[in-house]
Each structure stands twice: as C-alpha cells, then as structure tokens.
Amino acid sequence: MTEAIRIERDGDVAIIVIDNPPINAGSVAVRRGLLAAIEEIGQDAAIRAAVVIGAGKTFVAGSDLREFDLPLQEPQLPAVIAAIESCGKPVVAALHGAALGGGFELALGCDGRITLAGTLVGLPEVSLGIIPGAGGTQRLPRIVGIPTAIRLIASGERVPAAKALALGLVDEVVDGALRPAAVAFARRLGNGRALLRDREVPAADDGKVAAATRDALKLGRNRPAIRAAVEAVAAAARLPIDEGLARERAAFQELRVSRDARALRHLFFAERESARHPDLADAVPRKVERIGVVGAGTMGTGIAIAALDGGFQVVLVERDDAALARGVRRIADHYAGRVAVGKLDEAAAADRNSRLTAGTDWTLLSGADLVIEAVFEELAVKQDVFRRLDAVARPGAVLASNTSYLDLDAIAAATTRPRDVIGLHFFSPANVMRLLEVVRGTASAADALATGLAVGKRLGKLPVLTANAFGFIGNRIYAAYRRQCEFMIEEGAYPEQVDAALESFGFAMGPFAVADLSGLDIAWRMRQAQAATRDPQARYVTIPDRLCEAGRLGRKTGAGYYLYADGGRGRQPDPVVRDLIDRASAEKGIARRPLDDDEIRRRALLAMMNEAALLLAEGVAARPGDVDLVLTNGYGFPRWEGGPVFLARERGRAALERDLDWLAGLGGPGFTRADPAPLLGHTPG
C-alpha cells in the first residue's frame, strides 16, 4: 500500500479507497497501492468481495500526465487491472464525480460499476493524441459493440450517468449514499465473477462499422490517434482479448511519445497554468447574477445566449425597437433550433427565454451586476456607450467592453469609475467559441478582473488574462500573420495558394478566406485609424485597401479575395483579383517569383512566433502557454501542432535565431525582429 491507497472494511467487503487529491489521478503511487491492496484482499479468506472508491469529489479523473514524459514506472495500469481480473473475488467500482481515461478503464476491469447520479464517464484520450492504453478499446466494445465504441472513443465523449446506464457502461445509478450501495452491490455478486474480458463482442453490421469509421476519421481530421483508436476497436471483434490488449498497449506507447501527444500535453498544462493568477490570488470576485448586454447584433445576441446558458439573468438593450426585435428573434430561433435537433428540451429552452429581458430603455441596466458592451468597433461609439453606462449602472457593477483591438484605457476614461472597467473579448460566435480574453486596463481593480475570470468559467469559456495593448494577444499575433501573408501575395503567391498551404498545415481556414468571411472593411477601418501614426518607411501592402475601394468586402458583397456563389459559400479564385495583385506588385517594382508551400507555411508561422516573442517581452501575455491557448482556441490554429510557442521550442534556439534573421530580411523596413528568449522558457507543468 501507499499513502494514496487505504483499505477499510464493511464486514466481509473490503473498501479500497483512492485518496490522491485533488482529482485522484492514477499516479504510480496509486497504481502501486492498488496492486498491493488487490493482492492483500485476494489472500484474506475473510473478504468475499471488494469495492474501489475515490475519496473527495471524484473517482479517478484520469492518469497523471506528468509521468508521460518520464521513463515508464511500474506497475503500469494494465498490470493493476490484470490483478483485479485474476484475484478470484468480485470487485466493484463505485464512481462519482468523474471516471475518465485510465479511471474508467480501471472501472471497466472490475466486475461491476455503480455510479452516483451526475457522474461523467468516458475515454477522452484522443484529445491528448493517444488512445486508451489499459483495455478501453477492448473492453468497451464488449458492452456497446464496435460502431458505438468507435464513436465514443474517437469523439472522447464524456457520458453522463443516465446515458451511461442506458448504454450499459454502468450497472446502477444511485441518488443517495454511494458507498453502502456499492457494498450491497458487491455482496449481491457473491463469489461469481462478471468480467468484461469473458464477454463476446456483439456482432456488428459491416455498413455501420464503416460509417462509424468514416465519421470518426472525418471528425478527428485523420490524426494518428484517431486512426489507431479505430484500428484497435475494430481488432476487438477478431482477436482474442489478450492479443487485442497487447496491440492496444503497443499503439498507446508509440503514440505517448509522438509529436501530436507532446503538443496536446503542452496545451493541457498551459491551460492548467493559465487558471493561476498569483497577483489576483487574494481578489474575491464580485457577485454576478444579472448580466446586461448592450447591442443586439450577432455578437451581442451570442453573448446573451452564452449568459443564459450559464444560468444568468440577462438584460439586452438596443438603440431602437427594430434592431432589438431582430436580436430577440435571433435568440428565440437559436433555442427553437436546439430543441428541434434534440440538443435541449422544451422546458430548458423556456427557462432560458424566461430569464431574458429586452428593451431600449437604458435604465433596465441599473440592476445588472456586470454590463458587457457589444457595439460597433469604433472608439467614439464605445466611449459614448460607457458614458451612458456610467450614468445608469449601479455602483460596483463591472463594466466590460467586448472590443477586439481598441484601447481599453481610452474607453474606461469615458467613465468616472475606470477601476470597474475591464475587457471581455468574446470570439464569434460568442455562444460557441471557447476562448475569452479578459483584458486588464491600467486602472482595472483586481476584484473586477477576478469577476471577469469567474464569469468566463461559469460560461464554460477558457478565460485568458491579457494586458491592454493593440489587438491584445490574439488579434495582434493574427495581424502579424496576415501581414506576412499579404507580403507573400505581393511577392508572387496568390490568395488561393496561401490559403491552401495553411489549410494543409491544419488551419481551419486560410487567412484570405477568413478575411472574406469576417468582412474586409473591418480591418480596412482599423488601418485607416492607424494611418496617421504608421511609420512611412514601413512596408505596407495596398492590395486589401484596393479590394475595399472596389467594393469587394468579402462574402457579404459576393466578392473579396474570392468570388462567391451559392449564397456566399462556394469560393472561387477570381482573375480580377490576380490582375489587381499583379498590378500592385508592378507599381512597387517587385519582380514576382514562385513561392512554394513550404516557404508560405514557414514564413506565416515564423511571423506568429516573432510577434509572440515581442508581446511576451512587453508583458501583454503573462505566460508563453497563454499565447498557444489563444491561438488554438480562437484562431483555428491546429491543436496537434501545439501553437506558435510550442513550434518555436521544437525548433530550438539556434535554428529559431537563423529563421528570424531570414524573416527580418524579407520583412523589410518597419519589421521588428524579436529576441526569441521569451518563447523558450520551461513548459508549464
């Protein structure tokens, strides 16, 4: 036994308690203790059965990922599960909180599973670039069959208790005391065993298996972990279980040290670290139950939906009745759609709609604890909103701007209470995108910032703290990336080639397709606002401005970098744009040259790394990992590539120095070459 494991007794039933706070991670100490406990109860004639249960708030919420970059430490989890299966006495897993990954595999190795209502179970290993490695791909199909096992494992779905019972993943769900129910369950098993390894895999229709495989590979972007998971599950139907287990373990070990897995672990630890804010440790968030939203456009209604989904009372205010009616209808249609596709029941939709108050009277905001402005991205407009909020919002209310690049301090200056002003930069669609940049103004109070972070978590967002600087973290890096891509079309590439090269890297969309989707006029207005302060010697690409001047504002006008047909969806390269680009290059005396896809990807990614190093040096981002969280959660950067900081660390200092020198030479006047040192610190975790 170890300190993480203890044995308690209830008559003839041994209760093995896992006590490894905070989440009972399946560390080497837990595994050693479990193995010793199983051996002990196997030799104790007075014990007829055992229950494995977690102390604290959860069963086993997963493996200890800190061990994945270390040499293997014995015993491994498969040896623990093998000991359970061969101990000669029934063992019941009592689940509460979460039984995920190795925790659920441990439960699947037991004779039965009983769970507390509200528990989540699942095998989410593919989200970390690996597959279940302790029997999950072999035992789960013996319960649910091959097609459903492929879907559950390849999606990494976390299954709530009621659904788990319906699928047969657990045997009982209890609302009351878990421990006595588990002891009674173990006694009912008597001396009999009910091991999954002894079951046959249910026969499956070949068409359903093929469909599940096709869907899994599409959803998982055909990444190595998804392919390996599908292969391992399919093998369960044709191989003896011990051979299937051996193949699964070999695939797991290979994937564990793969680049995908290392990148995804980097993001896991970065996310854990991003939740810690030492300078806010003593700050108590203000109480928020009612959220006001100013602006009923696409962003404002998305924020309102996110707040309603988070359980808040919401007040939505617009300038005129027509705009307000459109926003309210958009929210109602959203919930009607969720009901129609079975994502929400009618009672839950009615509850959300009932918590919405809408009007054009700004005094409706007087009772709000937090007010979020979501109006037109223009400083004067936002300052006017905050002057009005200053007059109607109650003392102590947090006032938040959803600005994506404007100066938060200039906005806060329009109020008499800049301490209450923070930035909450949502990403569109606000009710879907997980990222939330929480912006610290010069005067922002610690408890106001803590409130923004706490509300973000309640909304199910990933809140990342950023200093007040142009574009904050994400838009500043994305602007540097897009600028480098504009350099490349000026030098010899065309938009469709740049987009294709970066989409093949893994971006959801290339930069020019994104620009067309967002609307080219947004960045155009930003450039116009900066024109007076722009370095006249700096390299400046006029192509985007010329497109806007020609009325080509993207999908909404049917033309931007591309032509759009079929309601603005199908994009087509346009000879007119090629001619415009060629003329712009000629006017600058640039001899166009071919750029291959490798150069395109290399320059675009290096531009991100360079800008990330600059903003880290300036303190805009608190930690290197925060940069990667922002890019992967808000800008379509492929998670399996880890983010620009991870890529920089993979390159190493010497290669990165050479690459940035090369990029600086291509960037011309106005390019600031960063010192890469801020990127190369120790990985969080």
Q: In what order do the strands lie in the sheet with 120-122?
A: 98-100, 120-122, 158-160
Q: Which long-range contacts (CB under 8 A, 24 or more apart) does 238-244 make?
A: 241/138, 241/197, 244/137, 244/138
Pick from 10, 18, 92: nearest CA to 57: 18
Per DSSP, the three-state class of 18 is strand
Is there a contact between 483 and 607 (Cβ–Cβ < 8 Å)?
A: yes
CA distances from 123 to 106, 276, 576 (A): 11, 27, 51
Q: How deeply is 283 buried, as exposed, middle or buried, from its count of CB atoms within 10 A (0-12, 13-18, 19+)? A: middle
21, amino acid identity = P
- State the DSSP code for 297: S
Known catalytic residue at 490: no
Hey, what are 494's tokens?
């065309």
CA distances from 109 to 9, 45, 136, 170 (A): 21, 22, 9, 12
Catalytic residue among 39, 67, 85, 125: 125
Known catalytic residue at 105: yes
CA distances from 306 to 81, 155, 303, 542, 683 (A): 42, 23, 5, 38, 32
Hey, what are 65's tokens?
């990922």
As a whole number of Å, the end-to-end CA separation of the chain is 27
CA distance 100 to 106: 9
Per DSSP, the three-state class of 133 is coil
Q: How deeply is 416 buried, as exposed, middle or buried, from its count of CB atoms within 10 A (0-12, 13-18, 19+)? A: exposed
Catalytic residue among 74, 85, 105, 172: 105
CA distances from 309 to 291, 312, 460 (A): 12, 7, 9
Kindly list the catalytic residues. 105, 125
